[in-house]
């Protein structure tokens, strides 16, 4: 299977970003133009966190 990331214009950018990370693609593989809403969504999916929100901390051990 090819390691090339194919951009599907009908797919959800968040899902595409999460899939890219799961497949080991670099963050700069994002196919969307800089500062576009789709790029922001793709990066949210890649990072697993909405833009402007800090990552959740792991639960405190008991």
Q: Give the domain extent around 37.
A: 13-47
Span 7-18, pLDDT tens digits: 565 579 999 999
Residue 41 · residue 20 · CB < 8 Å: no
1 assigned to some structural domain: no
Mean pLDDT, residues 29-39 taken together: 95
54 assigned to some structural domain: no
56 assigned to some structural domain: no
34 assigned to some structural domain: yes
- For residue 2, the model assigns a pLDDT of 45
Number of structural domains found in the chain: 1
pLDDT at 27 over 90: yes
23 assigned to some structural domain: yes
- For residue 1, the model assigns a pLDDT of 44
**Which comes out higher in pLDDT, residue 20 or 54?**
20
Mean pLDDT, residues 32-40 taken together: 95
Lookup result for tokens 């990552």: 55
3 assigned to some structural domain: no
């Amino acid at each position: 299977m090819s390691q090339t990331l194919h951009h599907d214009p009908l797919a959800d950018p968040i899902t595409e970003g999460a899939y890219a990370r799961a497949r080991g693609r670099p963050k700069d593989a994002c196919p969307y133009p800089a500062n576009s809403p789709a790029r922001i969504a793709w990066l949210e999916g890649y990072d697993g966190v909405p833009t402007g929100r800090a990552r959740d901390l792991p639960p405190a051990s008991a």
